[in-house]
């Protein structure tokens, strides 16, 4: 495990040297600052009396503050989920190809490391970045709304963790792509394809009737059966953030499916990397 942690630390140092972590934190802090400074909430006896956003008064009937804030938490959960994954795809697409660039990969393989240590450490380092950014952003959101409205909930935090699980499946595909082609652009493209495929897979039951009976419908069902249902995970995150009943039948099975897909993609990457000549 120590070699894996060493490679993960190497990825984090690489991110730090590129000012990536600083830009990451500054971006999240600016978003939180805009929300904190532009939102005004007046709460009377646990009910929302008035609210302003960017100086404009929002039309709100008198409701308990937890009910009034549900749409806000739901929107924040979707923003964290899809925005976080998109940002992660763009920002992390270069880590694995850079690690496997000519000269560097030969140097790393000359060290007393096994090949799977390199992939596992890269995956762990990137997920540490994603988890740290998610916890920072969602904790800030919880604090802002908790202080302004007096309503405290860990829902956005849990929704952020679900977003990390979704990104893990997407980055597993990107890392496996890096073992096939050392291209940051193609890694990012594979991440986008995995994200869009995961969104479509979450709505496979609704989309299936649009395909005519036959080979096309069977192929659509077969492909979307394998893909992680990311849109369903995003909906579950929104429900948890808003403290509303879950629309998905089983959150545990949904998470298991996403994780199995991610580990499967990683297994393909490990197998390909072990047999590759450098």
> Running DSSP on this structure, what letter comes out for residue 210?
G
Can you list the alpha helix ranges (DSSP code H) found in 150-229?
155-180, 184-202, 204-207, 215-226
How many domains does the chain divide into? 1
Q: Could you tell me if residue 155 is left (phi over 0), alpha (psi between -120 and 50 degrees) or otherwise beta?
A: alpha
Average confidence score pLDDT of the chain: 82
Residue 9, pLDDT above cutoff 80: yes
Domain with 229 in it: 1-275
The CA-atom distances, in angstroms, between 109 and each of 73, 98, 104, 119, 215 are: 46, 14, 9, 12, 46
pLDDT tens string 172-215: 999 999 888 888 889 999 999 999 999 998 888 888 888 778 88
Residue tagged 């492909």 (tokens): 223
CB 130 within 8 A of CB 164: yes
């Amino acid at each position: 495990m120590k070699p894996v942690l060493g490679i993960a630390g190497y990825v984090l140092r690489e991110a730090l040297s590129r000012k990536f972590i600083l830009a990451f934190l500054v971006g999240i802090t600016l978003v939180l600052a805009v929300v904190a400074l532009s939102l005004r909430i007046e709460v009377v006896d646990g009910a929302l009396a008035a609210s302003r956003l960017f100086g404009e008064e929002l039309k709100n009937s008198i409701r308990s503050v937890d009910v009034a804030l549900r749409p806000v938490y739901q929107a924040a959960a979707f923003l964290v989920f899809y925005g976080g994954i998109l940002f992660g795809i763009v920002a992390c697409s270069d880590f694995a190809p850079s690690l496997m660039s000519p000269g560097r990969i030969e140097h790393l393989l000359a060290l007393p490391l096994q090949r799977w240590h390199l992939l596992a450490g890269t995956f762990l380092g990137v997920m540490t970045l994603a988890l740290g950014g998610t916890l920072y952003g969602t904790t800030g959101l919880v604090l802002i709304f908790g202080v302004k409205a007096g309503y405290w909930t860990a829902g956005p935090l849990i929704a952020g963790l679900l977003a990390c699980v979704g990104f893990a499946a997407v980055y597993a595909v990107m890392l496996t792509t890096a073992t096939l082609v050392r291209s940051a652009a193609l890694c990012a493209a594979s991440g986008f394809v995995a994200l869009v495929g995961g969104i479509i897979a979450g709505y496979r039951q609704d989309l299936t009737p649009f395909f005519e009976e036959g080979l096309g419908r069977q192929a659509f069902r077969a492909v979307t059966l394998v893909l992680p249902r990311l849109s369903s995970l995003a909906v579950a995150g929104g429900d948890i953030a808003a403290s509303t009943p879950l629309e998905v039948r089983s959150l545990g099975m949904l998470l298991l499916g996403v994780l199995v897909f991610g580990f499967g993609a990683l297994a393909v990457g490990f197998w390909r990397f072990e047999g590759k000549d450098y």
